[in-house]
């Protein structure tokens, strides 16, 4: 009977296992093998040229790779904490007694579920150096030379980060609101009896009690910050002067524009190792980050 049940389960799982193998396992293995070769795709299988670990060594002397790695760390180091902090602040405010709470939640969360292409196009128009609403507003305030935003290498990455922070704050807010709803009200009542004010209750009760949500957001947002591609590709194409080139766009540019598929695969695996290392470090530090006594 048990063998029959196992066979039935295997039959139902077979289509999913086949799809999983074709679209995930095989590409991962192929990418790893390809990182040791030079291949431009158009030359066919006969064009494969084994180079060993050459790509993994050479990339560290390529300015574009170093620049994209630096930009990615700057992007992650700014957007991740800012989205989490703003998300927490809005969650605390909306979790209190405010008018139109449901509508405000929807307004803050709506950008996260909207189409990234449409959002990027709208923000690209907002950032227009002369006709954009942002600079028009700055002109009205008397600023003669406002930033050129996406057209200026000094401001382009900042402009992308501002948009990303606006985009991701709503998601962090929803996660924090779910965590806040799980905090027992008796803890705040006991703190109030002991003479604690709102700030003390926030520091001693709220922040420790939502630490599990903070840990979850820290891990997931860091991973997604290294995978940013859509806004870069639509709004700046990695420019101007490679000021917004990040790792994923660097991989895309080298692999699919210059047809350096072997090099692109090698950079992909370096990015994977960076993300894996950061995630393992965070997981090992979870005991100091998460309050388990909830």
Q: Which residues of 165-184 are buried (b: 16+ CB within 10 A; e: fewer)?
A: bbbbbbbbbbbbbebbeebe
Domain of 134? 61-289
| Residue 210 resides in a domain | yes
| Residue 46 resides in a domain | no
| Residue 247 resides in a domain | yes
The pTM (predicted TM-score) of the whole model is 0.89
Residues 6+ apart with CB under 8 A from 249: 68, 229, 232, 233, 238
> What sign for the dihedral angle of Cα 94, 76, 280, 52?
positive
Instruction: Give the per-residue pLDDT at 188.
Output: 85
| Residue 230 resides in a domain | yes
| Residue 187 resides in a domain | yes
| Residue 224 resides in a domain | yes
Work out how many domains the chain is built from and give that number: 1
| Residue 30 resides in a domain | no
| Residue 37 resides in a domain | no
Q: For 14-26, what is the HEC assignment? A: HHHHHHHHHHHHH
Instruction: Give the per-residue pLDDT at 200.
Output: 87
Angle at 236 (CA atoms; ends 173, 168), nearest 5 degrees: 5
Any idea which residue has 């900042």 for tokens?
A: 158
CA dist., res. 112 & res. 239, Å (int) = 25
CATH assignment at residue 227: 1.10.3720.10
Instruction: Give the per-residue pLDDT at 60.
Output: 95
pLDDT in tens, the chain (294 residues): 667 777 887 888 888 888 888 888 898 999 999 999 998 888 888 888 999 999 999 999 999 999 999 999 999 999 999 999 999 999 998 887 767 777 877 888 888 888 889 999 999 999 998 889 999 999 988 888 889 999 999 999 999 999 999 999 999 999 999 898 888 888 888 888 888 888 888 888 888 899 999 999 999 999 999 999 999 999 999 989 999 999 999 999 999 889 899 999 999 999 999 999 999 998 888 777 676 454
């Amino acid at each position: 009977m048990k063998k029959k049940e196992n066979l039935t389960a295997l039959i139902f799982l077979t289509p999913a296992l086949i799809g999983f193998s074709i679209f995930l396992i095989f590409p991962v293995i192929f990418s790893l093998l390809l990182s040791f070769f030079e291949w431009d795709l158009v030359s066919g299988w006969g064009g494969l040229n084994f180079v060993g670990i050459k790509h993994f060594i050479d990339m560290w002397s390529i300015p574009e790779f170093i620049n994209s790695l630096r930009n990615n760390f700057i992007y992650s180091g700014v957007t991740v904490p800012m989205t989490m902090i703003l998300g927490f602040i809005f969650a605390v405010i909306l979790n209190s007694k405010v008018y139109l709470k449901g509508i405000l939640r929807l307004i803050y969360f709506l950008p996260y579920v909207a189409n990234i292409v449409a959002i990027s196009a709208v923000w690209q128009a907002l950032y227009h150096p002369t006709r954009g609403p942002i600079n028009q507003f700055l002109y009205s305030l008397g600023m003669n030379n406002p930033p050129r935003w996406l057209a200026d290498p000094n401001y382009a990455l900042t402009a992308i980060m501002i948009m990303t922070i606006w985009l991701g704050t709503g998601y962090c807010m929803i996660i924090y609101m779910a965590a806040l709803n799980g905090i027992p009200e008796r803890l705040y009542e006991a703190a109030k009896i002991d003479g604690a004010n709102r700030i003390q209750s926030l520091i001693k009760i709220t922040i420790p009690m939502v630490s599990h949500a903070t840990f979850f957001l820290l891990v997931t947002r860091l991973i997604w910050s290294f995978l940013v591609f859509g806004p870069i590709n639509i709004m700046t194409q990695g420019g101007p002067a490679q000021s917004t080139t990040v790792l994923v766009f660097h991989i895309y540019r080298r692999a699919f524009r210059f047809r350096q598929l072997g090099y692109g695969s090698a950079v992909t695996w370096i990015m994977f190792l960076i993300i894996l290392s950061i995630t393992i470090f965070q997981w090992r530090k979870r005991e100091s980050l998460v309050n388990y006594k909830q």
